[in-house]
Each structure stands twice: as C-alpha cells, then as structure tokens.
Structure 1
C-alpha cells in the first residue's frame, strides 16, 4: 500500500509532468522520492537488530580511613581482592582495566577533616554472557568495600550490523524506485549517485547494576538496533 506522501508524488508523475519535480517530504526534512526528467531519487531505510554478545561491568571498591595513607593502602588491597575474585570467575587479565583512582578528604564542618575516602574502579569485559551472573556474584562477594556501578551490553562485531543495515537500506531504495518506475511506465537504468546518511555503530546499552542483582537469572541483554539511510539516484529509461 502506498502511503499518502508517496501517493502525492505519484500523482505528479502519472500526469506526465516529468519535467517538474515530484516529491513527498519526509518528517526528517528530506524527500523520500523525487522524479525529475530522466532521473529518480529515492531514500531507503535499513533497520537491523541483533542480540549483544559482550557485557561491560563497572565495579570497584570504596574505603574510608583516618589518614590519607591508610585510605589509599586499604583501597589498593581491596582492589587487589576484587581483581582476584574477577579472575577467579573466569575472566582473562586482558579483560580487566583500572577505570578510576581517587583519594580525598571528608569533612564534618568545613574545613574540619574527619577522614579520607579512597576509591578504585575496575572495568571488566565479559565475552561469554552465560558467565555474566557468575562474574557479578564474584564482585559482590568481595565484601562491604565492593561497589557495583552498572553494566552495559555491546555487539562485538559492530561492522557486521552496519553492513546488514546498509544492505537493507539499498534493497528498500531499489524496490521503491522500481515501483515508481513501473507506475510511470518506465524502467530503471543505471545508478547515478549513492549517498549514505545516519549510519553509525551502535553504542552500549546501559543496564543498572542494582537491577542486575535482583535475582540470579536477571541478566538479559535484549536487542541492539542500528538504522541507516541511503539516498540513491537512478536513471529512468
């Protein structure tokens, strides 16, 4: 079924006014279809979804001590314990990195210092999502110094989903152009121009750590989508 904005373009074309542009503006401000003389320009949309296969866990430790030296030392020891626990859950050393390191005073009534707070963050990359719960449990078991700051999901081969979206956009544009060519009693010729717009690798999907700890089967990466637009101009015969 032709939607209303496409029908408006078809009305121009069928009357034989091919020397006059026939178009239907999309909500984005560009034209979905433009027929002018012996050319037709169409916009194709490609939207592809795929399940993420990688998880990033943002974890860390936080301690408070009377002196800066004590706080820093305690944070380093707690971080070492956290790292050991994450490695013990099956992660490789290359998939762990320090994400932050802080040390600062805490005040009761400024400028009176009542102690020092030190933190050290660790980012863990989980490449096997069947181990996600095990990794989170290992981090939580470190003790009261442990902090779970959140998780996010990604598709490791992001180029593959972009290629799939590009293929879908090209097919959509070609099918649309063939339809309008048929409506005007003409045939498509060679491609004159191609312009890709709006495609980008999908970013991480955030998922709050506290929600992930709700029960042992709560890790669900869902689907990640990418959309891509392609503008193609064909010759009309």
Structure 2
C-alpha cells in the first residue's frame, strides 16, 4: 500500500526586468498620410529609446494597424494608424527616465502598460521545490502516523511549476521620486509525491 500527497512551496522574489509596452498613434484624412505619419513617429520613438540606452535587440514591434474611423457609416471621418513597441528594461533604476523618454516623443506617443519578470528564476524555483517537497513529506508523515504505519520511501514524484507573475505585495518605490515599482512576485511549485507504507 502507498500514499500520494501534494506539497506546495512558494517563494517571493523581486523582479529585475521590466517590459514597457508603448507605441505611437496618428489620425489623418487619408490612409497614406496616416501610415506615413505613424511610421515617422515610430522611427522617432525607436531612436529615442535607443538613445535612452535600450539595446536594439530589446525592442520589438508588437502592433501595426491602419483603418478608417467613421463619422456615420459609411462616411469616413479619418484614418487611424498605430504602431506598438515592447522595450525590455534591464536596469529598473532607469525605468522612470525611459517612460519620460516615450512621453517626450510627442502627442502621438502612447503608454500601454508594463510587466515585470525575473531574468533568472532558477534559484527561487530551487527554494520553492525544497519547500514543496518538505511540505509533502510532512503531510505523508502525518498520514502514516494517523494510519499507524511507518512511512516508507518515495516511489514517485511529479511537479507543476507556476512561473507566472503573481504580485504578492507592493514594495517601496526604488527612489522617493520613482513612479514605477516592481513589487514582488511569487513563484509556486506543486509537487505530487508517492510514498510506500512500511510494514
């Protein structure tokens, strides 16, 4: 006879990378004007981000759209064009300055949100695994005691890892004047462990 228990381990860690979702948007009377305008604005935005220290490989186009806006269908009032970019910020102390750089591009600039992540979650995951396995072992030991049987060795192990960002609490801002705070994120490991019961 054996027993299978589920253990859970969670570790909170401070993110060290920010993904900034930004872009540009223009409205013009013709589609060609709108597209030319958004491409020019996007070039200014990319140049400004590179000038702020973002490496070329840390810039990625996330949207490119062009379409009509209607005053009353089918009458077109204008054409809207948009281009989005994701900028990876690896030094969080520069986050506010880079956001200000985007805003300084002009009235076409758009800020569409931020996401934080850990560049190397391995150490946190190792600690979460230790906690999950210890949790499983404690549960199995308790059940063995309740059953009046000695706990045998491990016969099976499987795990599930949640790498998604789960805000645990909001940390203090990086500086008194900083408007962007990465807070903390929780990485959770769930381990399913099978134990044999001794005789």
TM over 0.5: yes
**In structure 2, which of residues 46, 71, 80 is the aligned counterpart of residue 83 of structure 1?**
46
SS of aligned partner of 1:175: helix
Deviations 1:145-182 (A, max 9, x none): 10001111111224443333222111111233334445
TM-score, length basis structure 2: 0.85
Q: Is the Cα contact below 8 Å between 1:154 and 1:204 reproduced in 2? A: no
Gaps of 5+ in 2: 168-175
Name 1:161's counterpart in structure 2. 124
CA shift for structure 1 position 101 = 0.8
Check if 1:234 corresponds to 2:195: yes
Task: Measure the CA separation in 2 of the matches of 1:74 and 1:216.
Answer: 34
TM-score, length basis structure 1: 0.72
CA shift for structure 1 position 136 = 0.4
Name 1:223's counterpart in structure 2. 184
Name 2:154's counterpart in structure 1. 191
Is the alpha carbon distance of 1:49 and 1:188 closer, same or farther for their aligned partners in structure 2, counting shifts above 3 Å? same
CA shift for structure 1 position 102 = 0.9
Higher relative contact order (CA 8 A, sep 6+): 2
CA shift for structure 1 position 143 = 1.0
SS of aligned partner of 1:156: coil
CA shift for structure 1 position 99 = 0.8
Q: Is the Cα contact below 8 Å between 2:132 and 2:191 reproduced in 1? A: yes
Name 2:138's counterpart in structure 1. 175
Task: Measure the CA separation in 1 of the matches of 2:151 and 2:145.
Answer: 9
Deviations 1:164-209 (A, max 9, x none): 322211111123333444566654332112232x42322486xxxx
Task: Measure the CA separation in 2 of the matches of 1:160 and 1:125.
Answer: 22
CA-atom RMSD in angstroms: 2.2
5 Å matches for 1:54-203? 54-181=17-144, 187-196=150-159, 198-203=160-165
Task: Measure the CA separation in 2 of the matches of 1:229 and 1:107.
Answer: 52
Gaps of 5+ in 1: 1-36, 206-214
Deviations 1:108-143 (A, max 9, x none): 122122221111111101111111111101001111
Query: Radius of gyration: which is bigger?
Result: 1
